[in-house]
Every structure is written in C-alpha cells, then in structure tokens.
Amino acid sequence: MDLTLKLKRKKPRHSLVARVLHWLYAPSVLTCIWSGFYINRPAKIYGFRNMNSAQKAHFIAQFTLIFAFLARVYYAFQKKNYKEILPNRQTIQNLPRFVRYELFLNSKKPQFPKYNPGQKLLFTGFVLLLPLQILTGLALYFQDSWQKTTKIAKGLNYLRQLHFLVALGNAILVAGHLYFVFTQGFKTLKSIFTGYK
Amino acid sequence: MGLDGPESKTKPVVLWLGTNTCAGDLLSFLNNNNPGYQTWVNDYVDLRYDYLLGVSQGPQNIEILDSTLADLPGRYILIVEGTIPTNSYEFCSVIGIKNSEYWTALQAVRELGAKAGHIIAAGTCAAFGGPYAAAPNPTGSVPLQAILRERTVINVPGCPINPEWLMGTINHLILYGVPELDSLNRPRLFYGQTIHDQCQRRAHFDNGVFAENPGEPWCMYKLGCKGPTTYADCPSRQWNTEHVSWPVKANTPCIGCTSPEFPDGDMPFFEHLPDVELPGIRMQANQVGRWAGLFTALGIGSHLAANIVTGRLAGNYKRDLASSRRKRLLKKKILRKKF
Ligand code: HEM
Ligand code: HEM
Ligand code: SF4
C-alpha cells in the first residue's frame, strides 16, 4: 500500500466535534471548580479580584458547561460513541488486569479499546455527577422562580451543601483524569488537540 | 350575642392558640407600633382567646373556644403559635380540660382549624417546625400545615417574628383578603426578597470585603451569614419598634430564621454550610473538603512517586518521543519519494 494513504487513512482518535466540545466543557468545569471554591470560602490565593468577578466567572462558565454537556450527550447518542466512554462487560473483565498494572504488580502495559477502565470509570463519574451539579446549580441560580424545586432539597442551605459536595466529587474526578492524561506520555495529550496520536 | 358585648359583632374574631412555643412571637408582637397592641385589641379585632394575655381561665377558656366554634364557623381567624407535638399521646401540649379529659393541642388545632375562616401560623415553629421540631425532635413536633393538610395555612415565620409581619398579614386579611403568597405560603409582601439582596453591606460582599470576626463593620458572609439563602425584609423594615437595627447592622451574621430548614439547616450559625451527617459521623462541610483534598493528593502523589521510581513515567514519554521521531522520518521519506 502507498505510504501516503497509510498515513492519511487513519481514523482520528478524537473527531473534530468531540475535540471542540472537550475544549468547551473542560475549561468550563475547571472555571466552575476554581470560582466555586472561592464563592464557598473567599480567599486571595484564588486570584479573583473580588466576589463579583468570581460570581461572573462561575455564571459564564456554568452556562457554557450546560451547553457543551448537552451537546456532548446528544453527540454521544447520535454517533453511538457513548460505547467508547461508558463501561461495558469487557471493561469489567479488563479491570483486574488494569488494577494489577496500575499497582505495579504487572509491568507489561495491557492494551484496551480506546480508554482504559480507569478513564472510563472517571468519565462515567462525570456523566453521573455533572447533571446533579447542573440541576442543583440551576436551582440555586433561579432560586426565586424555582422555589418549589428547592422544597425537594428541604431548603436552600441543604441545596448549597449538595452543590458543594457534588463539586468535591467532580474536582476529584478531574484530578484523576488529568493525572491519567499527563502520565500516559504526550501523544494522548496531543490527540485531544490534533485528533491524532 | 358576642362574647365581648355588642360592638364586637362588627370586628373580626381572632383566636390565638399557643402550642409548643416559647411565646416569643406573641411577646414580639407586643412591640407593634401603628397600630400598637392596645389599639389593635380595642379597635381592630375581637381577640377572644389569647393563651398568654387573656383574662379568662380554665373552663371559661374552653367555653369561649367552644362557643366561637359553634356560633361563628368559617368566620374567625385562627392564629397558632408553636408546633403540634404528636408523641407521648400528644400530651406534650395540652390546651385545657374538656369533658374531664385533656384537650390536646392536636385535637384543638384539628377542631378549630377545620372551621376557621383563615389560619395563620405565627413564627417558624408553627410554620415549618423550627426549634421545637429540631433534631432529635423528642416530642414528634410537626408544623401546622402538616395537621391541617387540606386548608391554606398562611405561614408567617421568624424566630421570633418581626411584629409587623404578623400585624401586616392580619390586617391585610381583614382589609383585602389573603395576601399574595410564595410557594412556602409566606406573604410575598414581607418575604419576597432575600436578606442579601436588600442588605446595606451588599457592596462589601461584591467587593470582597469580609469581616473575619463578629463586631466588624463588613460583610458577614465568611462568618456564616445566611442572608443569601433567607427570605425576609429585615434590612429595610428593621426591628426594635422604631425600625432602628437588625442583626447585620449590629455586626452579627443573619442566622436564617425565616427559612423552612431553620435551625438544623442553618447550623452551625457561624459556618457557611450545614454539617455533613453520615451514620455515626458528623463533619463540617469544609472539613469534608479538606479530607477529600488530602486523600486525592495522597493517592495521586503516591502513585506518581511509584510511577517515577519504577521508571514507567519516563518510559511512557520516551516511547512517545521515539514513535513520533519514527513518524517524522516516515513523512520525510514520503516527501522525498513524491518530489
Ligand atoms: C462542574 C461544575 C460546577 C462546579 C464544580 C461548581 C461548584 C460550585 C461551588 C463549590 C459553589 C460554592 C457553593 C457554596 O459553598 O455555597 C458553587 C456555587 C454556585 N453554583 Fe456552581 N458549580 C458548578 C456548576 C454550576 C452550574 C452548572 C450552575 C448553574 C446553572 C451553578 C450555579 C451555582 C450558583 C448559582 C452558585 C451560588 C453562587 C452564589 O451564591 O453566589 N454551578 N458552585
Ligand atoms: C486542562 C485540562 C484537560 C486536559 C489537558 C485534558 C485532556 C484530555 C485528553 C488528552 C483526552 C483524551 C484521552 C485519550 O485519548 O485517552 C481527554 C478526554 C476527555 N476529557 Fe479531558 N482534559 C482536561 C480537562 C477535562 C475536564 C475538566 C473534563 C471534565 C469534564 C474532561 C473530560 C474529558 C472527557 C469526557 C474525555 C473523553 C472525550 C471523548 O471521548 O470525547 N477533561 N481529555
Ligand atoms: S452581610 Fe450577609 S446579607 Fe449582607 S451582604 Fe454580606 S452575606 Fe449578604
């Protein structure tokens, strides 16, 4: 086969849409975490000028996130690529192998279809926690008009607490995701920018 | 034929029942001005029953309540202050003795509530449970609405109420009917906006100027101020009869006493968020955050250390470096072939 074709025909690891959406929701989530923790307990180290700017950052990021999250979910169903992201029976079967490798009990790197079981579990965490984050956030943001909804949480203070605890969960997931990404070498990292490994 | 003479016929009849309560709302109500309590009782209403200030006693009391129930069904205003206890055969609150038996608060509220024209829950306990239903709630206390499910209970919360919230609600009922209510049945007239949105220190909040200790004249947010989650008009109406002050103006945070989750959900008063409760553990929300951060850092840190020590991390990067060098060479080869 012609070498040119061999290079060109390779399917990208991440499609353009997936990459664009990743670079919409990733900064939004990071901004929400950063500004959210400032809102929870204002301190100089976050670098926000004041509460007003932290709230503005949170509010802009939150709506970008909502848009990007919904778009990604729609795209996942349309292209059926949720199969690459969500765990399946194979993932569970692969899990012991993966854990042994990650605990340095096995030195040969196992191969997995696209994402390793660890990344898959983290992504599933996002799929579960981000909707909760968005719903509790919306109920806080529209607290006047959504007063009935707040009743489910038994009051605004409990709603805030829930939003905060879910944010902790999301922050842990992001930390895990970034750790995987930055320790796998730079080609995976490159792939989320260029699409190719 | 009115109990208090002929002139009372034209004045609306009011019954003020005290159940499990500290009497704080009635005492606060006495601080009204324009109209004051005395004027109100003389000119505005026919206050037939008042659990604290009434002159009647014992059987007389029961007679007043019974005859109002019989003579004026649907035409009296019932004010209830306090929770309705349901444990211990409801004996934690007894209104009096009727037919030689205890007439419990639960029975009284059911009977009087069923036939009242309007029902007002005065104070956070009657409205939402409040301190008398706070965990672990030994008396099994419930708010008024939980007993009178099919009736509209107008909730006038506050611990205690601002005198004008109740005076205004009653007078609105008399003059114009039921005021506009929010989804927790509080009159929007008084509970339409958050404390935070009317606070004199809002500019300090926006500018990030926070008090670190009670007594400082800045925004009380970092001292656990519940202004952002609390609906009431304290900052504009203010307290002490002459509208002179309110908690934040007195350099202490709002504790959120008009909220349905008060006091459990507003505690600790000097913390931003309520404690996280799991079976057997109780922890401050920020402490949960600190532990979560510590565990994540430890987990990632130790894995990273192992990753470095075993040389796996360096291996991953070397592998990528080598393969991209190969690819570059391949590209060069293709280009050389083409041209
Ligand atoms: C991953 C995404 C998000 C994270 C990590 C996050 C995190 C946080 C945190 C930690 C707080 C402080 C809570 C407190 O202690 O009171 C907060 C506040 C808040 N968040 Fe989020 N949030 C996220 C997304 C959203 C979304 C999608 C919305 C709404 C649509 C939202 C709306 C709000 C609002 C209204 C507040 C209260 C702000 C205030 O009181 O000034 N958040 N967020
Ligand atoms: C600067 C921060 C980030 C970087 C450098 C980064 C990098 C990456 C990389 C390299 C991949 C591809 C992994 C692979 O091909 O094996 C990826 C995928 C992914 N990342 Fe991130 N990420 C970041 C932040 C985030 C955040 C905050 C989220 C939170 C929601 C997130 C969610 C995801 C998801 C869901 C995927 C799968 C994408 C898909 O298959 O379409 N990332 N990220
Ligand atoms: S003192 Fe309380 S109510 Fe006033 S601006 Fe600060 S947080 Fe809001």
Select from B193, B197, B220, B259 the residue to mutate for testing ligand 3; criterion: most ligand atoms less than 8 Å from CB: B220
Cβ–Cβ below 8 Å for A179 and B300:
yes
Task: Say if residue B140's pLDDT is above 60.
Answer: yes
Residue B336 binned pLDDT confidence (cut-offs 50, 70, 90): confident
Measure A137 CA to ligand 1 centroid, in angstroms. 5
Q: Measured between CA atoms, how close is B224 to chain A, in angstroms?
A: 10
Mean pLDDT of A25-32: 98
What ipTM is given for this predicted complex?
A: 0.90
B310: nearest CB among A104, A158, A164:
A104
Task: Say if residue A197's pLDDT is above 90.
Answer: no
Mean pLDDT of B207-211: 96
Residue A8 binned pLDDT confidence (cut-offs 50, 70, 90): low
- The phi and psi torsions of B305 (rounded to 5 degrees) equal -60, -45
Cβ-based neighbours of A89, under 8 Å, separated by 6 or more: none
Select from A163, A165, A170 the residue to mutate for testing ligand 1; criterion: most ligand atoms less than 8 Å from CB: A163
Question: Which of A50, A23, A20, A21 shows the shortest CA–CA distance to A35?
Answer: A50
Give the per-residue pLDDT at A12: 87
Average pLDDT, chain B: 93
Does residue B186's CB lie within 6 angstroms of at least one atom of ligand 3? no
- Model pTM? 0.92
Give the per-residue pLDDT at B2: 35
Residue A195 binned pLDDT confidence (cut-offs 50, 70, 90): confident
Task: Say if residue B49's pLDDT is above 60.
Answer: yes
Give the per-residue pLDDT at B90: 86
Does residue B254's CB lie within 6 angstroms of at least one atom of ligand 3? yes
Long-range contacts of A20-27 (CB under 8 A, 24+ apart): A21/A68, A21/A71, A21/A72, A21/A75, A22/A192, A23/A192, A24/A64, A24/A65, A24/A67, A24/A68, A24/A71, A25/A64, A25/A65, A25/A68, A25/A69, A25/A72, A27/A61, A27/A64
The larger pLDDT score, comparing residue A138 to residue B337, is at A138
Give the per-residue pLDDT at B4: 45
Task: Say if residue B112's pLDDT is above 80.
Answer: yes
State how far the alpha carbon of B289 is from the alpha carbons of A169, B126, B296, in Å.
Answer: 10, 35, 11
Buried/exposed B227-257: b ≥16 CB within 10 Å, e otherwise: bbbbbbbbbebbbeeeeeebbbbebbbbbbb
Decide the pairing of beta strands B118-122 and B153-156.
parallel
Mean pLDDT of B116-129: 97
Cβ–Cβ below 8 Å for A171 and B292:
yes
- Contacts with A, B 129-188, CB within 8 Å: 182-184
Q: What's the number of CA atoms in the CB half-sphere (13 Å) around residue B184?
A: 34
Q: What is the pLDDT of residues B66-108, one digit of tens each?
A: 999 999 999 999 999 999 999 988 899 999 999 899 999 999 9
Question: Which of B114, B119, B140, B120 shows the shortest CA–CA distance to B129?
Answer: B140
Measure A39 CA to ligand 3 centroid, in angstroms. 13
Residue A32 binned pLDDT confidence (cut-offs 50, 70, 90): very high
Residue A44 binned pLDDT confidence (cut-offs 50, 70, 90): very high
Give the per-residue pLDDT at B332: 85
Q: For the ranges A151-155, A167-171, B16-20, B305-309, which has the lowest average pLDDT?
A: A151-155
Q: What is the pLDDT of residues B155-197, one digit of tens each?
A: 999 999 999 999 999 999 999 999 999 999 999 999 999 999 9
Give the per-residue pLDDT at A148: 86
- The phi and psi torsions of B278 (rounded to 5 degrees) equal -120, 160
Mean pLDDT of B137-159: 96
Q: What is the pLDDT of residues B244-282, one digit of tens each?
A: 999 999 999 999 999 999 999 999 999 999 999 888 889
Decide the pairing of beta strands B118-122 and B76-81.
parallel
| Residue keyed to tokens 């990459």 | A19
Residues of B in contact with A185 (CB under 8 A): 316-317, 319-320
Cβ–Cβ below 8 Å for B226 and A164:
no
Cβ–Cβ below 8 Å for A155 and B261:
yes
Residue B10 binned pLDDT confidence (cut-offs 50, 70, 90): confident
Under an 8 Å CB criterion, which residues of A touch B? 3-4, 7, 37, 40-42, 48-52, 102, 104, 107, 143, 147-148, 151, 154-158, 160-161, 164-165, 168, 171-172, 175-176, 179, 183-187
Q: Which domains does chain A have, with CATH numbers?
A: 66-194 (1.20.950.20)
Mean pLDDT of A64-90: 93
Residue A74 binned pLDDT confidence (cut-offs 50, 70, 90): very high
Residues of A in contact with B212 (CB under 8 A): none
Give the per-residue pLDDT at A7: 54
Give the per-residue pLDDT at B3: 39
Q: Across the A/B interface, how many CB contacts are shorter than 8 Å? A: 112
Give the per-residue pLDDT at A1: 45
The larger pLDDT score, comparing residue B328 to residue A71, is at A71
Give the per-residue pLDDT at B5: 41
Residue B40's DSSP bridge partners are: none
Cβ–Cβ below 8 Å for A49 and B208:
yes
Q: What is the pLDDT of residues A129-181, one digit of tens each?
A: 999 999 999 999 999 888 888 888 899 999 999 999 999 999 999 999 999 99
Measure B89 CA to ligand 3 centroid, in angstroms. 44
Measure B89 CA to ligand 1 centroid, in angstroms. 45
Average pLDDT, chain A: 91
- Contacts with A, B 206-235, CB within 8 Å: 206-208, 210, 221-222, 226, 229
Give the nearest ligand 1 atom to B273 CA. Answer: 15
Does residue B220's CB lie within 6 angstroms of at least one atom of ligand 3? yes
Q: Is B304 exposed, middle or buried (0-12, 13-18, 19+ CB in 10 A)?
A: middle
Cβ–Cβ below 8 Å for A102 and B303:
yes
Is residue B264 within 8 angstroms of chain A, CB to CB?
A: no
A184: nearest CB among B206, B276, B316:
B316
Measure A26 CA to ligand 2 centroid, in angstroms. 7
Cβ–Cβ below 8 Å for A164 and B222:
no
